[in-house]
Structure 1
C-alpha cells in the first residue's frame, strides 16, 4: 500500500470516495421508501426519479458516480417531513440507463428541467452536491424561472474553482481504479444494464477531465438566493469561492448595508467527503436558508 501512495496521490481520492460510499450505504436502512418513483422520458434518455413527502418541492442532485441513496440517505428522511423531495439520478448513474449522448452539464441541467416538466412542477428549490452542484448552477443559468432558491454544496461553476491537485486527479483517473469498489457494487445493484459499467466510468472520466466555465457574468445574473456550503479543506479554491460569493452579492459589510440574499457557510475541519456526512450541520443550514 505504501508503494501505491508513493507512486501517485491519484488513488487517494478514489479511496476516500470508496470510504464515503461504504459509510453511506451502511446507513441506507434509515431512508424511507419513496411515495412515487419511475422514469421521466427527457431529451432522448429516461431519467430515474424518486418523490418523498409533501409540501413545497425541493430537488436533490447527487455527486459524481453516486446514487440517490449513496448521497442523500440521511438527508431525505428529514427534509421529507415538511417538503416534497424530488431526487433524481443523472445520466448513466444508478437506475438511469447509460447513454452515448454527450455527458455535459448543459444536458444534465436540461434533464432536470425535463423531470420537473414530467412531474408538472413549475419551480422548486434546488440542492446540488459536488457534480450535482455544478449541474445546479447550470440549471439556474439555463432555466432561471424554475429555481426559487439554490443550494450549492462543495461545488463550483468552473473547473478552476477546484484546487489544482483536484483537477490533476480528475485527469489521471483510470477505469480500473473503480473496479470492485463499493461504487461498483452499488451500480451493479440497481443499474438496468450492469455490462455498461466500464463505458459509464470511461464517460465519467472524460467528463471530469474536461475544463468548464459557466461565466462570471452568468453567475452574477442568478436572481435566486444562493446558499453555498463548503468544507474549509474540501478541494474548493477559497480565493475563487470568495469571488463567487461576491458575484452573488455577498461579501458586504452587513452592519452598514442590507444583509445579502445569498449566504456562505464554511464548515471547519471538513473535507469534500466528510462534509456530506455532517447531516445535522447541513440540515441546519438548509432549513434556516430555505425558510
Structure 2
C-alpha cells in the first residue's frame, strides 16, 4: 500500500510539472509553414513543419503534444532548420486508434511521415516516451537517420530507477481525469470522447516492461547525444552502460573521441529538464551542426 501511495504521489507531482511546462510554452507558439495528416500504417498521423534547412524530427513525451513539449524550442530551432514535429498515435491532433501501441509501430509511423513529406534522412530528437520511440527508429530505420538525440529516456524498463518503474506499473486512467491535461486534450483532439480509451491504452502500455535490446543499441551507427537530468529518474548506472554501448565512456586522451556524447544537466528533474530551453538548445545546435 505504501508503495502505491508513493507512486500515486509521484504521478500527481509529475502531472503538475507537465502542466507547468505547458504553461511555459503557451504564448511561444509560432505558426507552422505546413501542417496536416500523413496516412501511414492504417492511421492518420498529425505533423507540423517549421522553418527551412536540414530536417530535424521531434518526438514528444507521453500524454503530451507538440506545443506542450516543444513550444519553446521550435521558434529557435526553426531559425536554421526544417523542423518536423509529430504527434504520435492518439496524442494531440492524431486520432485515437484501436491499433496496439508498440515501439515498432510508432517508429514505423515516424518513418511513414518522413516518406509522406519526401524526407529521405533527418536528425531525430525524442523526449521521454518519444525518446524510446527514437531509439526504436534508429534500430529499424537506420538509413533514414542522420543523428539521434535522446532526452531523459531509456530503451528498456530497467533504465529507470525502481520508484519510477513502480509508478508506471501503478498508473491508472483516473489519475488524469478532469486534469489540465484532459483540458489540453479536449482543445485539439479530433474526437473528445476518446479520452478514456486513450488513457487506458497508454497506461496499459506504460505498465508493460520493455527492452529494445543491448545488441540493437550497440549496432546504432549514427552519432547519438544523450541528455539527462541528474535527478530525472533515469538509473545513472544503466545510463553509463548505454553510453558505453554507443562507444562512449573511454579516455579520449588515449583514443579518438567517440562520435556519441553524454550530457548530465545538474539540478534537473524529468520535467524541469525540458524547461531549460537555452541549455537544451545549446546542446542541440552544437551536436547537430
Distance, in Å, in 1 between the alignment partners of 2:17 and 2:134 is 25
Displacement of 1:181: 1.3
Instruction: Kindly provide the CA deviation profile for residues 156-181 of structure 1, in whole angstroms up to 9, marking residues without a partner as x.
Output: 11011011111100111111100111
Distance, in Å, in 1 between the alignment partners of 2:179 and 2:147 is 35
Partner of 2:91 in structure 1? 93
Displacement of 1:36: 0.2
Distance, in Å, in 2 between the alignment partners of 1:210 and 1:187 is 24
Q: Does 1:147 align with 2:141?
A: no
- Please tell me whether the aligned partners of residues 129 and 153 of structure 2 are also in contact (alpha carbons under 8 angstroms): yes
Displacement of 1:30: 1.3
- Please tell me whether the aligned partners of residues 25 and 68 of structure 2 are also in contact (alpha carbons under 8 angstroms): no
Secondary structure of the residue that 1:39 maps to in structure 2?
Answer: strand
- Please tell me whether the aligned partners of residues 7 and 164 of structure 2 are also in contact (alpha carbons under 8 angstroms): no
Partner of 1:167 in structure 2? 165
- Please tell me whether the aligned partners of residues 96 and 192 of structure 1 are also in contact (alpha carbons under 8 angstroms): yes
Work out the number of aligned pairs and report it: 288
The TM-score normalised by the length of structure 2 is: 0.97
User: Mapping of 1:165-244 within 5 angstroms?
Assistant: 165-244=163-242
Partner of 1:257 in structure 2? 255
Instruction: Kindly provide the CA deviation profile for residues 41-89 of structure 1, in whole angstroms up to 9, marking residues without a partner as x.
Output: 0000000000000000000000000000010000000000000000010
Pick aligned residue for 2:56 from 55, 58, 76: 58
**Runs of 5+ unmatched residues, structure 2:** none
- Please tell me whether the aligned partners of residues 40 and 109 of structure 2 are also in contact (alpha carbons under 8 angstroms): yes
Q: Pick closer, same or farther for the CA change 1:7–1:225 going to 2, 3 Å.
A: closer
Instruction: Kindly provide the CA deviation profile for residues 255-278 of structure 1, in whole angstroms up to 9, marking residues without a partner as x.
Output: 111110000000011110110110
Q: Pick closer, same or farther for the CA change 1:6–1:242 going to 2, 3 Å.
A: closer
Displacement of 1:19: 2.8
The TM-score normalised by the length of structure 1 is: 0.96
- Please tell me whether the aligned partners of residues 11 and 171 of structure 2 are also in contact (alpha carbons under 8 angstroms): no
4+ residue segments displaced more than 3 Å: 4-9
Partner of 1:74 in structure 2? 72
**Runs of 5+ unmatched residues, structure 1:** none
Partner of 2:285 in structure 1? 287
Displacement of 1:205: 0.3
Q: Pick closer, same or farther for the CA change 1:6–1:39 going to 2, 3 Å.
A: closer
Distance, in Å, in 1 between the alignment partners of 2:4 and 2:106 is 37
